[in-house]
Amino acid sequence: MKIIIDENIPQARNAFESFGELISLSGREITNEIVHDADVLLVRSITKIDEELLHDSKIKFVATATSGTDHVDIDYLNKNKILFANAAGCNSFSVAEYIITALCKIFNQNYFTFNKKTIGVVGFGNIGSKVVKFCKALGFDVMVNDPPLERKFGPQNFVPLSKILQCNIITFHVPLNLSGNDKTFHLLDEEKLRKIKSGTILINTSRGEVVDNLKLRMRVENNNDLFTVLDVWENEPAIDFELLKKINIGTAHIAGYSLEGKVNGTEIIYKKLCKFLKVTTTWKPVYPSILNPIITLNQKNNFEFLLDEITRQIYDIEYDDKMLREGIGLDKQLQPKHFDTLRKNYRIHREFSNYTIRLNFSDEETKRKLKALRFKVI
């Protein structure tokens, strides 16, 4: 068996080498010529899976080690009897923790408090549901918009997008749908951007095209009245570096790049390939130990400050922002490569559940909130 695999799928060699010949290369280098005599194709989100890539090939199984599938022509795969698998939910905790870390940063820089702030969560899937759970535990007033789920379960737990646009914080967790009743392409367009009130925190970690980047740039250039966090961009990797200059936090589509999030993706597609081939699973992922798994808090303070102190020691979001901004001064021809290189060479960071918080003071409310974020507390 011949397997073509994106080189950025972690622990892939250990997971898949027993199945046959393994050819590992950059996702953007995977072409029809490369896959034509292969049996299995394993990718991440930067490889477009469609007829152009797969025509006249031997491929019978395609998997993406990501939750998103907008890079995959599923209809084409179905028509050609090519089995498809994705890794839905693999990095959901990673993205939810990115949201919390970004909010900590902005709230502490501006002396905001979580209490009684409204957050509008657009999309209540694997990621959005975790964001909702975290934010409720932290004291936010949470509103959810998800039209497909509202049609399925009724309106009692959902609000219209117009109400979301009035929240203090708006965060997007939807798939990219280019058309149809649930179209999300430019879901946040010029008209809706005008309805967002001054001082709102706007976060997009879903797909870049969900937010009209040009109209967003015009809003922040003209008014400079939003706190904006973007991990995803239109036209990746050729992103709008002029927009990056104007926002508060910008990162290179890495919100889901915790070690657990990436390795979960590998494990999910490994199990699905084993099922397809009717073989027993034998491989299990290996996680390195953490150098400093205990974080000590010696002095009681407001919770926003304490949580920012914790998250800084786990994941330095300002470093990721700084690294992406190093592309601003590059020649335009080099900027896309800079974006891709940041993703390819991304450093390891671990999820909250790996850490124990030692409180050297008594505070049951702080302990409860930290446990809700999956920290161990002693």
Catalytic residues: 207, 236, 253
SS3 118: strand
Q: What is the Cα 375 distance to its own chain's centre? A: 20
If phi over 0 gives left and psi between -120 and 50 gives alpha, with beta otherwise, what is residue 111? left
Q: What is the Cα 370 distance to its own chain's centre? A: 22
Question: Scanning the structure block, which residue is given the tokens 């009245």?
Answer: 225
Contacts of 317 (CB under 8 A, 6+ apart): 98, 101, 102, 105, 249, 251, 311
Using CA atoms, how far apart are residues 136 and 142, in angstroms rounded to an integer?
Answer: 6
SS3 72: strand
Using only C-alpha atoms, the chain has a radius of gyration, in whole angstroms, of 21
DSSP string computed for 209-261: GGB-HHHHHHHHHHT---EEEES--TTTTS--HHHHHHSSEE-SS-TT-SHHH
